[in-house]
Amino acid sequence: MVYNSLMSRIIRYRHEDESRLLRICGQCLKEGGLVILPTDTVYGLAARVDQPEAVARIFRIKGRDTAKALVAVVSDAAEAAGLVIPTERSRLLRLARFWPGPLTVVAEAAPLEWVEWVAPGSTRLGIRVPDHPFLLQVLTEHGPLAMTSANLSGERAPSIFEEIPDALLKEVELAVDQGKAGSGRPSTVALLGKDGITLLREGDISREELERALRGEEEGLR
């Protein structure tokens, strides 16, 4: 059941109110609500991964094709490693030198029930550890979260709160306004395959850096 008393509530982020805001976010997510949160890249639209109806609402209100999976956002590399099959964990952790940061790694998912609604029809899962202090606190206490950019499908992802469409704000239970959230550049998306790295979306982290990291070369450190 959605936490109705938070319907369409917008709260301005202030550092001194962080503990209170963290509690509000946690309660909303626990009750199956959708929350718009700032990240290190753009604003994100999130739900808890264990809330299938909330995750389905993300696809619906964005007008997003379910063939385009959501990303599982987690608090650290160790948690990320637990979301993939055992044979992929060591390679995933080699790429974890870029976390927290603007890197989404797509890998074969562990047999977790919620993968079927976060990434419908796929055995792979996109995983990220964002470099945003408040979001990391939310993830530590209430994650993992299913997340995507806070825009309507096909439109530009917003890095400034005012760029979030009203049509989306009307559909969520809570939105955290931090003004300008992040860099404005979406994360690098890399597929971890049998033959190495396939770059699915270019970002601040290059394919060359990822390949060096996967080989264990110190040169890949940022």
Q: Is residue 161 part of a domain?
A: yes
Three-state SS for 58? Answer: helix
Per-residue pLDDT of 64-80, as tens digits, reads 999 999 999 999 999 99
For residue 8, the model assigns a pLDDT of 53
Per-residue pLDDT of 53-65, as tens digits, reads 999 999 999 999 9
For residue 14, the model assigns a pLDDT of 81
The CATH number of residue 210's host domain is 3.90.870.10
Q: Is residue 179 part of a domain?
A: yes
Cβ neighbours of residue 148 closer than 8 Å, sequence gap 6 or more: 44, 45, 58, 62, 64, 70, 71
* Spatial contact of 87 and 107, defined as CB atoms under 8 Å apart: no
Q: Is residue 77 part of a domain?
A: yes
Q: Is residue 166 part of a domain?
A: yes
| DSSP state, residue 51 | -
Which ranges of the chain have pLDDT less than 70? 1-8, 217-222
Best CA proximity match to 33, nearest among 20, 18, 48, 12? 48
Q: Is residue 115 part of a domain?
A: yes
Q: Is residue 164 part of a domain?
A: yes
User: Structural domain tally of the chain?
Assistant: 1
For residue 222, the model assigns a pLDDT of 45
For residue 221, the model assigns a pLDDT of 45
Distance CA 29, CA 71 (A): 16
Q: Is residue 222 part of a domain?
A: no
Beta partners for residue 44, in sequence order: 37, 149
For residue 21, the model assigns a pLDDT of 93
Q: Which domain holds residue 33?
A: 4-217
For residue 218, the model assigns a pLDDT of 52
For residue 181, the model assigns a pLDDT of 87
Q: Is residue 146 part of a domain?
A: yes
